[in-house]
Structure 1
Amino acid sequence: MSRIFISGSSTGLGLMAAELLVQQGHDVVLHARNRSRAEDARRALPQAEAVVVGDLETIAGAKETASRVNDLGHFDAVIHNAAVGYREASRVTRDGLPHVFAINTLSAYLLTALIARPQRLVYLSSGMHHHVGASLDDILWRKRRWNGADAYAESKLHDAMLAFAVARRWRDVHVNALEPGWVPTNMGGPGAPDDMDQAHLTQAWLAASDDPQARVTGKYFYHLKRMTANPQAHDVALQDRLLHICAELSGIALPA
């Protein structure tokens, strides 16, 4: 059985994946951005080993979260699930960053760089990532008029780029990305048309299954099946540039 940490797992798809993994006999550590949400998560899934509290909106908060995860010992897998959605208004964090980028892109980078390397890494992207470019020349939205849907879609492209960059650099780790579908969570909204019963299965499968089809790396999935990601996600030059931007902003380099 595996030991798995899931970021952003006090509600929604993160919690659903955690419930499934616990049912399968795995040890799961949840994550919540504050103590109130952590208490809700404990009530929702009392079988969870622990709940890590940490606000991923700031660089300091992401670093502290990673430290708290490491304090709990080694994990076999990490699921990078934490995110805010496509309906977000423009807001700047204490670090001077758009909060969608800070949470969806930069915190995933920081947790990847700082949590002791597991055997498997899983990144949640979105179907919306197929329809945008990485926009690395204005990743902080200082030149463009804010568009929450585009900011979200770009951040989910960044997550796929990050997954493939890490897969390329860390050959001893199974690293993959997926899209769960547009489902009626708090993030997706009540009108989302996709299948809620399918939305959490792929990330749990990639994190813990012994199925040979799950024990791959550098791949992209939707509902347990391989699919093609946005071509920019596979562009090595763009991947390296994204890693450089994240390292420059955070002061943390991705370990070799």
Structure 2
Amino acid sequence: MALILVTGAAGGLGHNTARALADDGHEVVVHGRNRARLTDAGDDARWKGAILGDLSDLDEIHDVARQASEYGRFDAVIHNAGVMRSPAVATVNTIAPYVLTALMDKPGRLIYLSSSMHRTGSTDLGRLASGTASYDDSKLWVTALALALASRWEGTSSHAVDPGWVPTRMGGPAAPDDLTAGHRTQTWLATHHDVTPRTGGYWHHRQTQEPHPAAQDERFQAGLVRALENHTGVQLG
């Protein structure tokens, strides 16, 4: 049995991921923007606990990390929360996962939600501070963050996952990919021990793929971490 945090678990892929993990007997802590969103999902009895906070607000991101610390060290953290069309796209999709990672106890496994659209993201990190980042940019950056962390801390693995274009509220009803397959890779990475590579993979439906070259570029990874540290005032450690 593993203790697992899933961010953005009020609906869509995050909710499906959390339910699948709980149904397999794991202790699941869910995160949502507010209590109403989590309660509306109707699964309160499944969860070990709930963490509340708006990941578009830096102060609330800090508070989410504080709430998470009350559970001790997680076996896995699945950074699922994301937005597609919002002025806060970089904050929710890249900055929040970074700050939570930096402030929380290091888990056994880190899993970050990417997207195939990361391949058209920009390497211009000036967009991070200027607020001009696109969804594609934010997903390139969080993919690079995941791979930068792959060998940073002994005892912690890190992966990025492309769940596919699935029919959630974000993906839309016409999305062509399989909804169930959209969360299976995350649950597998969070709980199984026969994962190869053990760390540093970019995954789609439990198969590794080659990400955007910048995501694997150590110079870009280092520049991204510096930009995130400077922007948030939070050191990665």
TM-score by length of 2: 0.95
SS in 2 for 1:110: helix
Indicate whether 1:47 and 2:55 are aligned: no
Q: Residue by residue, what CA displacement relative to the aligned partner does 1:192-223 show, whole Å, maximum 9, x if unpaired?
A: 1111120000011101112243x610111000
Separation in 1 of the partners of 2:60 and 2:24?
A: 31
Measured at CA, do residues 141 and 248 of structure 1 come closer, stay the same or move farther in structure 2, by a change above 3 Å? closer
Partner in structure 1 of residue 121 of structure 2:
132
- Between the two proteins, the alignment pairs up a number of residues equal to 237
Partner in structure 2 of residue 227 of structure 1:
209
Q: Give the C-alpha shift of residue 51 in structure 1.
A: 1.0
Separation in 1 of the partners of 2:26 and 2:38?
A: 20
Counterpart among 174, 177, 188 of residue 205 in structure 1: 188
Separation in 1 of the partners of 2:175 and 2:44?
A: 25
Partner in structure 1 of residue 63 of structure 2:
64
Letter in 2 for 1:241: G
Structure 2, unaligned stretches of length 5 or more? none
- Contact 1:133–1:232, Cα closer than 8 Å, also in 2: no
Counterpart among 134, 153, 163 of residue 146 in structure 2: 163
Separation in 1 of the partners of 2:109 and 2:125?
A: 27
SS in 1 for 2:151: helix
Structure 1, unaligned stretches of length 5 or more? 92-98
Partner in structure 2 of residue 105 of structure 1:
94
Letter in 1 for 2:110: L
Q: Residue by residue, what CA displacement relative to the aligned partner does 1:24-78 show, whole Å, maximum 9, x if unpaired?
A: 111100001112113224x235211111111111111101000000012221000
Indicate whether 1:250 and 2:232 are aligned: yes
Separation in 1 of the partners of 2:234 and 2:211?
A: 27
Separation in 1 of the partners of 2:223 and 2:210?
A: 22
Separation in 1 of the partners of 2:114 and 2:73?
A: 25
- Contact 2:129–2:231, Cα closer than 8 Å, also in 1: no
Letter in 2 for 1:127: S
Separation in 2 of the partners of 1:161 and 1:245?
A: 13
Partner in structure 1 of residue 76 of structure 2:
77
Separation in 1 of the partners of 2:60 and 2:105?
A: 17
Q: CA RMSD in A?
A: 1.5
Q: Residue by residue, what CA displacement relative to the aligned partner does 1:96-123 show, whole Å, maximum 9, x if unpaired?
A: xxx1111111001001101111100000
Counterpart among 170, 176, 183 of residue 193 in structure 1: 176
SS in 1 for 2:40: helix
Partner in structure 1 of residue 16 of structure 2:
16
Measured at CA, do residues 16 and 138 of structure 1 come closer, stay the same or move farther in structure 2, by a change above 3 Å? same
Separation in 2 of the partners of 1:10 and 1:127?
A: 23
- Contact 2:121–2:138, Cα closer than 8 Å, also in 1: no
SS in 1 for 2:159: strand
- Contact 2:79–2:97, Cα closer than 8 Å, also in 1: yes
Indicate whether 1:172 and 2:171 are aligned: no
Counterpart among 237, 240, 251 of residue 219 in structure 2: 237
- Contact 1:132–1:154, Cα closer than 8 Å, also in 2: yes
Percent identity over paired residues: 40
Separation in 2 of the partners of 1:247 and 1:133?
A: 19
Separation in 1 of the partners of 2:194 and 2:141?
A: 27
Letter in 1 for 2:56: E
- Contact 1:167–1:176, Cα closer than 8 Å, also in 2: yes
